[in-house]
Amino acid sequence: DSGVTQTPKHLITATGQRVTLRCSPRSGDLSVYWYQQSLDQGLQFLIQYYNGEERAKGNILERFSAQQFPDLHSELNLSSLELGDSALYFCASSVMSEAGELFFGEGSRLTVL
Amino acid sequence: GENVEQHPSTLSVQEGDSAVIKCTYSDSASNYFPWYKQELGKGPQLIIDIRSNVGEKKDQRIAVTLNKTAKHFSLHITETQPEDSAVYFCALFKGGAGSYQLTFGKGTKLSVIP
């Protein structure tokens, strides 16, 4: 158990809909990262937050947004869903005092029908 | 952005043999190179890492080597066991000023045949 909690574990929805994925980082970790994992693209970095502020942005679509709340949990919002958004979405956390280990949750599997 | 090429994409070895996975990168500013193992249905987990001031690091049956001049780093697993079967990802760190981004390779699916 990494200490990172993601909900929901599975989600099935239709094209055009909007979903929210939630992540609770490890106790004490200030930084949260979101990654998308699809079969052909590996682990794609989406966005990073540190203590409530956005710090780095990867290949995140404009239809996607995220935030980190004062209690340090984070939410990833996916809207106007398309079939191609079907993937595993991972949240990871770290202390981020220096380059070091990321602790990953078990992921949220999104299926868009 | 930074790219990291990982080879091979799949690897099958007999139990007890060694496995080697290699990654190459282009940005010489990268200074931290971790390897993650992902088992079926789970998130990736760090198994070993190396920093740019070190050429090799070993942890029991797992070792990582780094050649900064040639810009490649490799994972070596010796005496493989069935529980080593998983997907392995190399990654490299790029960051500064509070920004910390890990870029992952596309993964190597390792199968250890009993």
Reported as a single tens digit per residue, the pLDDT across B11-67 is 999 999 999 999 999 988 888 999 999 999 999 999 999 988 889 999 999 999 999
Q: Is the pLDDT of residue A17 over 90?
A: yes
Query: Are the beta carbons of B74 and B105 closer than 8 angstroms?
Result: no
CB nearest A99 (choices: B32, B42, B89)? B32
Q: B45 and A105: CB-CB below 8 Å?
A: no
Q: d(Cα B100, Cα B114) in Å, to the nearest integer?
A: 40
Task: Please tell me which of the candidates A2, A48, A102 has its beta carbon nearest to residue B99.
Answer: A48
Helix (H, G, I), strand (E, B) or coil at B84: helix
**Cβ proximity of A72 and A30 under 8 Å:** yes
Spatial CA neighbour of A86 closest among A109, A57, A105, A106: A109
Digit-coded pLDDT (tens) for B66-97: 999 999 999 999 999 999 999 999 998 877 66
Q: Of A29, A46, A24, which Cα lies nearest the Cα of B102?
A: A46
Q: Per the structure block, which two tokens stand in for A74?
A: 């984070």
Give the pair of three-digit tokens for residue B95: 């960051």
Residue A22 — pLDDT band, cuts 50, 70, 90? very high
pLDDT of A98: 65
